Amino acid sequence: MPEKYRRHFLKDKEVKELLTEVSEKLRIDLKQVFEGNVSFEVVEAEFGKIFLANGKPVIAKTDEGLFPTLVFDELIASAPKVVVDMGAVPYMCKGANVMAPGIRRFEGEFRKGDIVFVVDEKHGKALAVAEALYDSVEAKSVSQGIAFKNIHYVSDKTWNLMKELSTRER
């Protein structure tokens, strides 16, 4: 059943506040990522908000907090990543947290509480956005239990609304 939502453009002040908040959370200057003339919209759904830059869903805000979407390619390219084995993929796509035994390697540095992308080892495809429960040095020595908390994943409500929006755009 399609999600009910409201969609509207953001005012310049709202865009500035959003970019500042996300830049602080992700520790990256998003103003550089969004160079030039970019129009921002927000899609408000029952579960949260999805922010679109030039029609592309790049940021989401839900009860889990503020986080980048799995299609924010410009950020995925430079953000820290957790590479998981292919056996973890079906679980990640159902919202499971990242368990230490399924981790193959890390790409980039991160601190506890930072947002990282979870990618599969075979294709490097983004499967989830997760919160680090350890910094990158500690995480390398963790051998069991949860290492990253899954906050956005392929097939969640945010993902499904993004798919619905892209289908309607065509």
**Which domains does the chain show, CATH number per domain?**
5-72 (3.10.450.120), 75-153 (2.30.130.10)
Radius of gyration, alpha carbons of the chain: 16
Please list, in sequence order, all residues whose beta carbon lies within 8 angstroms of the beta carbon of residue 84, skipping any fewer than 6 positions away.
92, 98, 102, 103, 104, 118, 119, 120, 121, 127
Query: pLDDT tens-digit profile of 7-31?
Result: 999 999 999 999 999 999 888 888 7
Predicted TM-score of the model (pTM): 0.92
In this prediction, residue 130 carries a pLDDT of 98
Of 61, 66, 39, 65, give the one whose Cα is nearest residue 52: 39
